[in-house]
Amino acid sequence: MNEPRPPLTIHRIFHPTDFSEDSQVAFAHALKLALLYRAELTIMHVDPAVSPEGFEDFPRIRPTLAKWGLLPESSAKSDVTKLGLRIRKVRALAADAKQAIIHHLTASPTDLMVLATHQHEGFARWVHHSLAEPISREMHVKTLFVPSHVEGFISRETGRPSLHRLLLPISIQPPSQPAIDAASALISQLSAPPVTLTLVHAGTEPDVNTLALPQKAGWSWNQLFGKGDPVEWILAAGAEFDVDLIVMATKGQDSLLDMLRGSTAERVLRGARCPLLAIPAQLI
């Protein structure tokens, strides 16, 4: 009961990018997680304005690893392999970025997708279109959303993680245990204590006693329950506790109101001040 179950297994990471400055934060997270999990990192170029020559140069993997102190300045591609990294670069041929990504994931499933999101005018955007949310929802894949305006829990400059305060929205449906397990496994991989995990819920309270909350040295669990709009509660708690990551199970859209307003996770994403890790119910 004290260990994550099942663990957050990551062998393949998929990171679509438009090579913009805003996407660099998400790239740093994708690269660091690939290093930690010794996973294959597939980077898809989705901006047709970038030439094939430019595609080969970006994102700057070896310079980034050198800046993090993991490679010498004059490193070779073989040095990247010695770190346990396997890098694939894929150029999206379709003009429609969403369809190109869905086609790729259908042919080559991934364990984790890392997406940059742009938040403006009250909506989450990716590559200036509302793509991040429907792609994650349609493909039913674990997705780390990284808002462009935040530093996140991986430093772009040093590569060092800072994951000490997590927020876990809990619910009866979808079940919350997989999100708790994923958060626990990620902390175990990334962080040294102290770690604070806050469970937050608005509405009918689930039985917290049925949840397995790993008890480890330096870990503390808090509970916060309230009434009203769960999205408002989640965002308020995230701001109050200045959390580094929100982890939540998602069930997608299941009503006309959801289709108009977006699912709970999507609405949280639009206002979040930190990355959000979504665990689709279809994987539970």
Model pLDDT, residue 58: 62
pLDDT tens across 197-222, in order?
999 986 666 678 888 999 999 999 99
**3-state DSSP assignment of residue 260:** helix
Long-range residue pairs from 1-6, CB within 8 A, at least 24 positions apart, any chain: 1/212, 1/214, 2/214, 2/215, 2/216, 3/184, 3/214, 4/181, 4/182, 4/184, 4/185, 4/188, 4/214, 5/181, 5/212, 6/181
pLDDT tens across 50-80, in order?
665 655 556 689 999 999 999 998 888 888 8
Whether pLDDT at 126 is above 60: no
DSSP state of 208: G
What's the mean per-residue pLDDT of the chain? 81
Output the CA torsion sign for 63, 145, 182, 234: positive
CATH topology for 12-147 is: Rossmann fold (3.40.50)
Whether pLDDT at 4 is above 70: no
pLDDT tens across 161-194, in order?
999 999 999 887 778 898 999 999 999 989 778 9
CB 219 within 8 A of CB 35: no
CATH 3.40.50.620 in the chain, residue ranges: 12-147, 165-283
What does the block give as tokens for 190? 């990334």
- Percent of the chain past pLDDT 90, that is, above it, reads 36
- Determine whether domain 165-283 maps to CATH 3.40.50.620: yes
More confident residue, 188 or 49: 188
Q: Which amino acid is at 149?
A: H
Whether pLDDT at 275 is above 60: yes
